[in-house]
Chain A
């Protein structure tokens, strides 16, 4: 799938959601999923070190990776957005 097609599908689906989504077919939906997942990558492999980071949490407190660890480690969940 080329970049222009993907861009069109992703824009178009959101526009249709905002107008109620009544005209969305299942093949439209599958194309929307495909446009997002095309060539997807999953980052560091099992056994590899992850990049170190420090990010603010919802209270504005800076949290480094090592502070997030429990005694057996941390489950880090990457989501699309908490907003939609």
Chain B
């Protein structure tokens, strides 16, 4: 269902979408109607295609009426020649991959619609979230693009303690795990300092992930005790970009620029209206 929200963005990138589950055509028809799904919901009764892909979940016993036949869930981005261009499988099923993530990885900001620009006298940075709407428990992608004025650099790692390496950190009660790996920095001999330090010059571009917390389907009291209750609504995610810009002659003071990006958390998925199905 989250996929429906991303369809337009996918289309703009020339990507069509489809889902595959073991459900009967009747179940999928009811689901599609209930949620106004416009992409193909493919019915793999007997899990033939799920098996052919090698992702049939062999942990589920045959006599488990509800779960037998399900896959280890994941997304594939398949190129027109039928080869896998990218894929996304998450071990922790509390994190659902976002359809927009694999696309942001390949198509950059065209796929994102939620950006903030940070400008200083020597640097232009853009932080983009892959979406401005998500469901609890979803993983969304973020990208960081930095463009430096010629003659200036910022630092990578490892770095001696008196310099500030480049870092992007999100700080919000909504954010669970986050990861953003910067590409390897280039060692540069800084003549004024007589030191060789890892630096970035020119353009820097990288993509990472943000895990939005989820309330598992457990009683409210229990969730509150765990501190994992996420209510739908409009949120703001705060982040900080830290860096220190230097040229051959001068070094600016370390900077910590904070920013905010809006993110709407949609209500969790209620059970689809059911038609009795013969099993």
A5 to B117, CA, bound (A): 52
Question: CB-nearest residue of chain A relative to B64?
Answer: A10
Contact with B along A17-50 (1 / 0, CB 8 A): 1001110101001000101111111111111111
Most buried by B among A20, A46, A48, A63: A46
Q: Using Cβ atoms and an 8 Å threshold, which residues of chain B touch A59?
A: 29
- Is the pair A72, B14 in contact by a Cβ cutoff of 8 Å? yes
Residues of A within 8 A of B204 (CB): none
Q: Which partner residue on chain A sits nearest B43 by CB separation?
A: A56
A78–B75 alpha-carbon span in the complex (Å): 6
Considering the chains assembled together, what is the distance between the CA atoms of A45 and B225 in angstroms? 41
Partner of B71, one of A10, A74, A80: A80
Size band of the interface chain B makes with A: 35 or more
Chain B positions within 8 Å of A69 at CB level: 16, 78, 80
- Which residues of B have CB within 8 Å of A81? 21-23, 66, 70
Residues of A within 8 A of B77 (CB): 73-76
B102 vs chain A, min Cβ distance (A)? 7
Interface contact A10-B89, CB-CB below 8 Å: no
Q: What CA separation (Å) do A68 and B99 show in the bound complex?
A: 16
Q: Does B142 contact A (CB under 8 A)?
A: no
Given contacts A77-B18, A84-B271, contact A53 B73 (CB under 8 A): no
Give chain B interface residues in 15-65, CB to chain A under 8 Å: 15-23, 25, 27-29, 31-32, 37, 40-44, 48-50, 52-55, 57-61, 64
Which of B158-166, B214-222, B238-246, B247-255 lines the interface with chain A?
A: B214-222
Chain A residue with Cβ nearest B94:
A33
Given A50-B84, A77-B99: A33 and B92 interface contact (C-beta under 8 Å): yes
Q: Are A76 and B75 in contact (CB under 8 A)?
A: yes
Q: Is there a chain A Cβ closer than 8 Å to B274's Cβ?
A: yes
Taken together as a complex, chains A and B put the C-alpha atoms of A80 and B96 apart, in Å, by: 11
A79 touches B87 (CB 8 A): no
Closest to A37 in B: B91
State in angstroms the CA–CA spacing of A82 and B11 once bound together. Answer: 23
Is B67 in contact with chain A by the CB < 8 A criterion? yes
| CA A59 to CA B274, docked complex, whole Å | 17
Contacts of B78 in A (CB 8 A): 50, 65, 69, 73-76
In the assembled complex, the Cα of A44 lies from the Cα of B52 at a distance in Å of 10
Q: Which residues of A contact B93 (CB under 8 A)?
A: 33, 36-37
B180 within 8 A of A: no
B13 CB-CB contact with A under 8 Å: yes
Query: Which of A46, A63, A78, A80 contacts B84, CB < 8 Å?
Result: A46
With both beta carbons as reference points, the residue of chain B lying nearest to A44 in the complex is identified as: B84
What chain A residues lie within 8 Å of B124 (beta carbons)? none
**B203 on interface, CB distance cutoff 8 Å:** no
Say yes or no: is B103 at the interface (Cβ < 8 Å to chain A).
Answer: yes
- B residues less than 8 Å from A80 (CB atoms): 21, 67, 70-71, 73
Best-buried of A29, A50, A60 by chain B (most CB within 10 Å): A50
Shortest A57–chain B CB gap in Å is 4
| A19 to B57 CA separation, bound complex (whole angstroms) | 25
Interface residue B208 (Cβ < 8 Å from any Cβ of A): no
Contact among A7, A39, A42 for B61, CB-based, below 8 A: A7
Contacts of B27 in A (CB 8 A): 82-83
Q: Which 4 A-B pairs have the closest CB atoms?
A: A72-B14, A70-B16, A7-B61, A58-B28
